[in-house]
Amino acid sequence: MLIVMHKEVAATDLDAVIRRIEDQGWEAKPIPGGERTAVGVLRNKGPVDPAMFLDLPGVRDVIPVSKPYKLVSREMHAKDTVITLGTGDNKVCIGADKLVLMAGPCAVESENQALEIAHAVKEAGAKLFRGGAFKPRSSPYSFQGLGKKGLEILARVREETGLFIVTEATDHEVCDLVEEYTDIIQIGTRNMQNYRLLRRAGQAGKPVLLKRGMWATMDEFLMAAEYIMSEGNEQVMLCERGIRTFTRHSRNTLDVNAIPYTQKESHLPVVVDPSHAAGRRDQVIPLARAAAAMGIDALIIEVHTHPEKALSDGPQSLYPEQFQELVSGIRDMNINI
């Protein structure tokens, strides 16, 4: 339920609406806007009777919100959310007019490796460096990441290059540490329905990049984002990274239909990861271009200077020259980076 107030509503009228919501044991979520102020009703168990609010001074309209996800939905929040990192000259806005590039290796392997790749992707136009310090691997015998040492390397990358950092928090226990070091907390596909972790990310003071579960419906995906937002963190990005299908010509299938659907349903920035969708280098550039053409807000791409020696996801990692080629191709599409 969304209670829309008259333009230039008096603070006392707004307070009265909030009080009436809270008296029912529900949560009131004021949504200020240029055109109008509205108040969302959250945590109601059953339907809400509009008549409860229509008689209050300052109330213009009461609109039912039909979606199970409220905070994530455009019904509650029509305008696009913009997530801003940094200030002044070193500022990046995700969800505004430019396509933001996040690039780097699957995993942080050493300081030299991370710095070499970071310089290359920065040179090409990336604004964020990606790289896992904690890796969720299918095999317990595969490289699991450098842990805290990896986070320290990421901090060093930021210091030396000015790139912002996005890295994954694989579980509740490491979230404090990841939050301390990173600029954006990544929640991976395997954790999209780890509700305890989602709630923890919702309490973080940093933006969250939520990857869609490889088996998740859109409702499940958007409800996972709702978990984060319901804890008070409004800085959430929705990342399509490919879903499991029957195909064998790629690791996953980039669900391109999900892109316009997400853009329509939600005000949150949309990020696309063509690397994990493809699983193979030769498909990454075409998928990235397709996503860019659909007006997404950011791309997250795996890049490695020596992919044949990479400890994780080498076959899908672009060489720096290929990343550069991708960036030029997108610029040729008249898309601002």
Contacting positions for ligand PEP (CB under 6 A): 106, 132, 136, 188-189, 211, 241, 273, 276
Judged by CB under 5 A, which of 106, 157, 166, 209 binds Mn ion? 106
Residue 79: name the closest of 45, 122, 117, 32 by CA. 32
Measure the N-to-C terminal CA separation of the chain; round to a whole number of Å.
Answer: 38
Judged by CB under 5 A, which of 313, 317, 323, 327 binds Mn ion? 313
Q: From the CB of 274, what's the least distance to ligand PEP, in Å? A: 11
Taking the least distance from each CB to ligand PEP, the nearer of 42 and 299 is 299
Q: From the CB of 134, what's the least distance to ligand PEP, in Å? A: 10
Residue 208: Cβ within 10 Å count? 25
Q: How many residues bind Mn ion (CB under 5 A)?
A: 2
Taking the least distance from each CB to ligand PEP, the nearer of 20 and 135 is 135
Taking the least distance from each CB to Mn ion, the nearer of 50 and 136 is 136
What residues does 167 pair with on adjacent strands?
185
Stretch that binds Mn ion, among 36-44, 102-110, 178-186, 323-331 (CB under 5 A): 102-110
- Diameter of the chain measured on Cα atoms: 68
Taking the least distance from each CB to Mn ion, the nearer of 107 and 270 is 107
Rama region for 25: left / alpha / beta (φ>0; ψ in -120 to 50; rest): left
Q: Give the dihedral of Cα atoms 98, 125, 276, 70; nearest 10 deg.
A: -30
Residue whose Cβ sits closest to Mn ion:
106
Considering the rule CB under 5 A, would residue 255 count as an interface residue with Mn ion? Answer: no
How far does CA 81 lie from the centroid of its chain?
11
| Side chain identity at residue 220, one-letter code | E
Q: From the CB of 106, what's the least distance to ligand PEP, in Å? A: 5
**In degrees, to the nearest 5, what angle opens at C-alpha 139 toward C-alphas 137 and 142?**
75
For binding to Mn ion (CB under 5 A), which residues are involved? 106, 313
